[in-house]
């Protein structure tokens, strides 16, 4: 009986981790399906965000659709990072786009002390320096002009991602529907990208591309976001969610390579490994430091 109780406890504890893992795997397929479409970045963004909005609204409608100043700003940032990521993925390799978007923690380390008057520590500086070194490797070697532009769009997406996370921490962000920024952010994308999409629709969109858009909107953003927020609602630590979330940038270029044959440069792979490793090590040290302060270490 005791063994059964322990088994149930372990299962309950693992459940939120599995939810985040599922979300990260779904998110990681974005690069593959964006690359596979024959539509422009703005046409893809419309279809993806339109269906994502419907999906998220259906499942979170009971929380209402309130909006305040902070959630309005986070909505704008969310819409910007969505569009910038799609543009970057279309212009450069999937590896460059996702790795450079995941430089967001670097900007968080720099900006968090400014936003919330927290101390900037020595290990923060080491992490930022390592990630900046990793970023520089994406611009080494033979690059087409569109690769350079795509890399810059990906970096801009990372900045928006960081600002988005910083504002989600604000107390006012938790006073409305947890999905408010995703709902209104996707609606902004829909409005901005509607002319491009309907122009493409008049010219004709293939059934295959409609199917890819349906997957991107309903599954890759909609269901993945719902899995992630459900895991967080069950009390999963931000550290655990963050580390598991790094499955996304690892798998994203692998799917594209396996199914579309797009091979990232060696320098990009090295840069991505440096960035991801630096952030994960920083998160682990941060967790250890917090446990020490709370007297939980042995």
Give the tens place of pLDDT for each residue, 111-163.
888 887 777 777 778 888 888 888 888 888 767 888 899 999 999 999 999 89
Separation CA 214–CA 183 (nearest Å): 17
Q: Is the pLDDT of residue 19 over 70?
A: yes
Separation CA 54–CA 183 (nearest Å): 8
Phi, psi for residue 223 in degrees, rounded to 5: -65, -40
What is the number of other CB atoms lying within 10 angstroms of the CB of residue 182? 27
Closest-CA residue to 115 (of 80, 175, 157, 165): 165
pLDDT tens-digit series, residues 24-76: 999 999 999 999 999 999 999 999 999 999 999 998 888 778 888 888 999 99
Query: What is the model's pLDDT at position 56?
Result: 92
Separation CA 60–CA 177 (nearest Å): 8
Separation CA 196–CA 50 (nearest Å): 13
Write out the two tokens for 80. Answer: 């910007």
Q: Provide the whole-model pTM.
A: 0.84
pLDDT tens-digit series, residues 165-207: 888 777 776 666 667 888 999 999 999 999 999 999 999 999 9
Q: Is the pLDDT of residue 297 over 70?
A: no
Q: Is the pLDDT of residue 14 over 60?
A: no
Residue pair 209/38 in contact (Cβ under 8 Å)? The answer is yes
């Amino acid at each position: 009986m005791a063994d059964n109780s322990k088994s149930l406890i372990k299962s309950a504890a693992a459940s939120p981790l599995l939810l985040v893992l599922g979300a990260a795997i779904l998110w990681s397929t974005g690069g593959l399906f964006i690359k596979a479409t024959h539509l422009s970045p703005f046409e893809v963004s419309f279809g993806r965000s339109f269906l994502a909005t419907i999906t998220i609204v259906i499942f979170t409608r009971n929380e209402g659709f309130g909006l305040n100043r902070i959630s309005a700003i986070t909505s704008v940032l969310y819409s910007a990072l969505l569009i910038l990521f799609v543009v970057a993925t279309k212009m450069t390799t999937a590896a460059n786009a996702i790795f450079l978007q995941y430089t967001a923690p670097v900007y968080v380390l720099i900006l968090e002390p400014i936003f919330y008057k927290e101390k900037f520590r020595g290990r923060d500086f080491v992490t930022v320096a390592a990630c900046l070194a990793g970023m520089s490797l994406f611009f080494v070697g033979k690059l087409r002009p569109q690769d350079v532009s795509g890399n810059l769009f990906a970096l801009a997406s990372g900045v928006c991602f960081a600002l988005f996370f910083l504002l989600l921490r604000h107390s006012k962000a938790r006073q409305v529907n947890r999905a408010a920024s995703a709902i209104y952010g996707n609606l902004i994308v829909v409005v901005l990208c509607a002319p491009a999409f309907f122009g493409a629709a008049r010219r004709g969109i293939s059934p295959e591309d409609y199917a890819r858009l349906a997957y991107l909107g309903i599954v890759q953003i909609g269901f993945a976001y719902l899995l992630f927020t459900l895991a967080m609602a069950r009390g999963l630590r931000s550290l655990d969610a963050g580390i598991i979330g790094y499955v996304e940038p690892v798998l994203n270029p692998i799917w594209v390579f396996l199914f579309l044959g797009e091979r990232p440069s060696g320098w990009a792979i090295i840069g991505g490994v440096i960035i991801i490793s630096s952030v994960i090590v920083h998160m682990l040290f941060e967790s250890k430091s917090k446990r020490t302060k709370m007297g939980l270490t042995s």
